[in-house]
Chains A and B, each alone.
Chain A
Amino acid sequence: MQLSNDVVMELQENCPSVKNLLLLDSEGKRVAVKYYSDDWPTNQSKLAFEKSLFAKTQKTNARTEAEITLFDENVVVYKFVEDLHFFVTGGDDENELILASVLNGFFEAVTVLLRSSVDQREALTNMDLIFLCIDEIIDGGLILETDGTTIAGKVASHTIDEGAPLSEQTITQALAAAREHFTRSLLR
């Protein structure tokens, strides 16, 4: 009986898995989040988790090195930059360093994608990139990739070869693209 239980546990825990990725703003509000586990079945429970996690970690200094805490039987690693708060949650028994490598990949990829001006404003203007980035890190709780540059490369590939098939774009579209590039450079 005991043994079979152990074996079942073992099978579930065999593969490192992530329960959620969170990107919160300076007030603990969602910028982008993704949940992979059933631990928080409703939006309310998710919001409650984010709120109390933010309250618990807010005062810690997670700016130079990633920090870590045990929270509600979960291990949470986190890192703060400007007004952005990155969190990665894993099970109680997860290898903390694996979670930290996921966090690091998440954070680095976002840094590359937002071209080093990592703050909430830039994240919101490039929301599509953030969503794609999260999608490239974790697939259904399983780790897809942990290297920040690789992740960013996969996300940004479309913006790179966007210029290539210029012939396919209509004049209006080309103008719109040019206008956007122009306004962006002005804002900087």
Chain B
Amino acid sequence: MAQMVKKDDDRDEEADYSPFVGIEKGAVLQEARVFNDPQLDPRRCSQVITKLLYLLNQGESFTKFEATDVFFAVTKLFQSKDIGLRRMVYLMIKELSPCADEVIIVTSCLMKDMNSKSDMYRANAIRVLCRIIDGTLLTQIERYLKQAIVDKNPVVASAALVSGIHLLQTNPDIVKRWSNEVQEAVQSRAALVQFHALALLHKIRQNDRLAVSKLVTSLTRGTVRSPLAQCLLIRYTSQVIRESSTSNQTGDRPFYDYLEGCLRHKAEMVIFEAARAITELNGVSSRELTPAITVLQLFLSSSKPVLRFAAVRTLNKVAMTRPLAVTNCNIDMESLIADQNRSIATLAITTLLKTGNESSVDRLMKQITNFMSDIADEFKIVVVEAIRSLCLKFPLKYRSLMNFLSNILREEGGFEYKKAIVDSIVILIRDIPDAKESGLLHLCEFIEDCEFTYLSTQILHFLGNEGPKTSDPSKYIRYIYNRVILENATVRASAVCTLAKFGAMVDSLKPRIFVLLRRCLYDSDDEVRDRATLYLNTLGGDGAVVETDKDVKEFLFGSLDIPLVNLETSLKNYEPSEEPFDVKSVPKEVKSKPIAEPTGLRAPPAAAPAPTVDTYERLLSSIPEFSSFGKPFKSSAPVELTEAETEYAVNVVKHIFDGHVVFQYNCTNTIPEQLLENVSVIVDASEAEEFSEVAVTPIKSLPYGSPGQTFVAFEKPGGVTAVGKFLNVLRFIVKEVDPSSGEAEDVGVEDEYQLEDLEVVAADYILKVGVSNFRNAWESMDPDTERVDEYGLGSRESLAEAVGVVINLLGLQPCEGTEVVPNNARSHTCLLSGVYIGNMKVLVRLSFGIDSRKEVAMKLAVRSDDISVSDAIHDIVASG
């Protein structure tokens, strides 16, 4: 005996730190043989089970065979009366999740435990049994479960109720029969029994609105003791409110008093649940909102981070739609900027950025500057994004916001963060014309000391497009040429391109650019030298044949009209020979959708909507039939003409020209066994009288999976917003393809495929172009072009819906965030701007009002470059 003790001591020392050091599955499975000993040692068995559970917990998995083996061994342990061991056995069975024929072996043991005198046995046996049981066995034990639900021991009752919630998903019919018992349990004195019973009762009745409503009505009057149950009741109450709100018009919301009362509950979780429920009520009024905001405001100064976080997160959500309601909390919010928990600080900042008005912007920026230096990049990105939207909201404040962005741009930061800042500056430059020059200079300064090649090249590219259009392009040259001197080859090559762009656009700078480019001819890198030579040639710097101005610009600014993937494959296939590589030999058919193509390599995707238009323009001008149409005025977003997952997927892009309309049908063949040839769309324009078809370009061959484009062009009267409906049929020759060889048969069959109809609407003739200061823009337009009229829009769901409809109808750009209608507003003014076909600027001022019967009236005021355009806008509304 003494020897045994010694041995144990040794092992204790070895495994001093962890009893699981060097644990190994095979060895533990061997150890599990003790389960089969005729004389069971409960302690030892418990230890082995703990080890097995530990292995599973560490992510180890048992094979089917091992699991079955362990399961059968474990079932032997039901012989032991040791409570501790039995508990471990329960856990083990749950972890092993045995299959149906194994379950039968333990069912009787567990059923015996369910009827044991020990409550601990009963509660656990119920939970285990319900976890592994199926429908037929469930009916056998249903009687016991019903009894357990109303058992006076709360642990047993909770076990049965929670199991009921799980079983409701698999055997709803059986569990629904327990309704009476569950209802009794709702009245239990034990807090958690009440919670579990309420959850189950609601789940049983959830599809019966009336029953749920009755449940809520009766319980909100009585006293629910458990805070968790109270939280549930609040959730159910908001659901009932949501469903009944449409019927009640007197203004008093049913159950609001209950929610408001919960704000005075003693448990914080209930107070918070109620406050959150109130802020999420549909169309909540200021009067209803105030008490909830007050409670949340108190939480903001709590010592518990969880409370502060919960409160600031909820207020942040409220601020998105109701910034005014949250302004009272601004002082408390500002103190949270210094919160130790950075999630809380960031939420506070972004809330403040939403609630701030134009006058508080400067003060806020000062505080944020201090805060920015000690938070992680991911939070900084959130702040940068919030500042970007703030700047778009208050364009007049661009100066201080742009300064802020340029300051943080100079500080330390990772790539993603710097990219977010650069993207923001680029967006501000695009959207706020006044900010252009200072923004470009900030970017120039940034690339003077930028460690990210990607960002440097992006900025140089952007600079090349925007810089020449500024009042004094020459001041950028120094920054660009510095890149040529100081940077790595990639950036140098990119800077050469930018220089060339300045040379092409600004004649006065040409001689200087030539000098600089000639210096680049001695660069150590091939690519830089090649580019310099190329641009000197095209711009005529070395006295060679000067290409026409248009060609040069097209070459420099146009986008590559062939997909890069195709170019890459063609170049790889090209074998060196006497014959030079011909770019024209590269197929232009886009393998993926044309819109997806420009994102990856070009300027930051969010900042560059333009390349899409470029891509289209290139594509269209490459087709001789359309060359005489001029530049397209607008290209619509693709409209799907087929349902998803049909044999042929077709969408269409409408290109509007001054005197023509071209439909670009993007077709995809989704059947591997078919090759389509001579694919075209037959368009019936009988419902579009002003249009007459002039050209069709079919797709010669459309193999499986690679999209192709077919075009149909129409002539229409110039300068008029001709509208109409077009019926489309896809016509093609289909050839069977042998799946093994990939060869198509020689003979095909002609076939047709019905597509959805397509409409050309007035909005197709209008471009969305924003203005930064609507008021100034409005005043600068000739008042004589103003046309005002009033319209009744009939009964609408809400003011917001009416505003949305009109914006969509006109297809203009909403300005200064006026497309957002505050909840419960009775009137709203919306400002729109855009360009009408023929390059006519249009500004629209919409005033909406809604009365108690939800009738919406609208006053429409238009100013534009030409009075006929103002009339046309009115026509669109009158006929829409």
Q: Report A's interface with B, CB cutoff 8 A.
A: 6, 10-11, 13-16, 30, 32-34, 43, 46-47, 60-61, 65-70, 77, 95-98, 100-101, 121, 124-125, 127-128, 131-132, 135, 139-140, 142-146, 154, 157-159, 161-162, 165, 168, 170, 172-173, 175-177, 179-180, 183
Given contacts A43-B59, A66-B304, contact A10 B166 (CB under 8 A): no
Q: Are A97 and B84 in contact (CB under 8 A)?
A: no
**Contact pick for B87, options A60, A100, A127, A132, CB 8 Å:** A132
- Closest 10 A-B residue pairs measured CB to CB? A97-B269, A43-B59, A158-B83, A96-B310, A158-B84, A100-B306, A128-B50, A68-B309, A124-B18, A68-B306
Q: Are B272 and A15 in contact (CB under 8 A)?
A: no
A139 to B341, CA, bound (A): 31
Chain B residue contacts of A65, Cβ below 8 A: 303-306
Q: Are B127 and A139 in contact (CB under 8 A)?
A: yes
Question: Would you give the shortest CB distance from A130 to chain B, in whole angstroms?
Answer: 9
- B295-313 interface code vs A (CB 8 A; 1 in, 0 out): 0000000011111011001
Interface residue SS majority, chain B: helix
Interface residues of B in 229-257 (CB under 8 A from A): 231-232, 235-236, 239, 242
Q: Are B81 and A168 in contact (CB under 8 A)?
A: yes
- B309-323 interface code vs A (CB 8 A; 1 in, 0 out): 110010000000000
Q: List 19 A-B contacts (CB under 8 A).
A: A10-B239, A14-B202, A15-B165, A15-B199, A16-B228, A16-B231, A30-B58, A65-B304, A68-B309, A100-B306, A124-B17, A131-B53, A139-B162, A144-B192, A146-B228, A158-B83, A158-B86, A173-B43, A179-B8
Chain B residue contacts of A100, Cβ below 8 A: 269, 304, 306
Residue B415 is within 8 A (CB to CB) of chain A in the complex: no
Which one of A47, A144, A161 has the highest number of Cβ atoms from chain B below 10 Å of its Cβ?
A: A144
Residue B158 is within 8 A (CB to CB) of chain A in the complex: yes
**Contact pick for A124, options B12, B19, B59, B199, CB 8 Å:** B19
Given contacts A46-B59, A131-B50, contact A142 B165 (CB under 8 A): yes
Q: Report B's interface with A, CB cutoff 8 A.
A: 1, 5, 8-9, 12, 17-20, 39, 41-43, 46-47, 49-50, 53-54, 57-59, 61, 81-84, 86-88, 91, 94, 120, 127, 131, 155, 158-159, 162-163, 165-166, 192, 195-196, 199, 202-203, 206, 228, 231-232, 235-236, 239, 242, 268-269, 272-273, 276, 303-307, 309-310, 313, 340-341, 343
Given contacts A60-B341, A128-B50, contact A14 B236 (CB under 8 A): yes
Given contacts A69-B343, A97-B272, A157-B83, contact A33 B127 (CB under 8 A): no
Q: Are A135 and B239 in contact (CB under 8 A)?
A: no
Question: Would you give the shortest CB distance from A125 to chain B, in whole angstroms?
Answer: 6
Chain A residue contacts of B307, Cβ below 8 A: 97
A82 to B748, CA, bound (A): 77
A127 to B53, CA, bound (A): 9
Cβ-closest chain A residue relative to B200: A15
Question: Would you give the shortest CB distance from B850 to chain A, in whole angstroms?
Answer: 20
Q: Are A33 and B57 in contact (CB under 8 A)?
A: yes
Q: Are A154 and B309 in contact (CB under 8 A)?
A: no
Q: Are B83 and A162 in contact (CB under 8 A)?
A: yes
A170 to B276, CA, bound (A): 60
Q: Are B304 and A143 in contact (CB under 8 A)?
A: no
Chain B residue contacts of A179, Cβ below 8 A: 5, 8
Chain A residue contacts of B341, Cβ below 8 A: 60, 67-69
Question: Would you give the shortest CB distance from B314 to chain A, in whole angstroms?
Answer: 9
Q: Are A176 and B5 in contact (CB under 8 A)?
A: no
Cβ-closest chain B residue relative to A60: B341
A164 to B216, CA, bound (A): 48
Chain A residue contacts of B58, Cβ below 8 A: 30
Q: Are A11 and B206 in contact (CB under 8 A)?
A: yes
Chain B residue contacts of A32, Cβ below 8 A: 57
Cβ-closest chain A residue relative to B314: A96
A176 to B8, CA, bound (A): 11
Question: Would you give the shortest CB distance from B242 to chain A, in whole angstroms?
Answer: 7
Question: Would you give the shortest CB distance from A187 to chain B, in whole angstroms?
Answer: 8
**Contact pick for B120, options A11, A158, A176, CB 8 Å:** A158
A61 to B83, CA, bound (A): 40
Cβ-closest chain B residue relative to A103: B306
A179 to B43, CA, bound (A): 12
A34 to B19, CA, bound (A): 20
Q: Are A61 and B340 in contact (CB under 8 A)?
A: yes
Question: Would you give the shortest CB distance from A80 to chain B, in whole angstroms?
Answer: 13
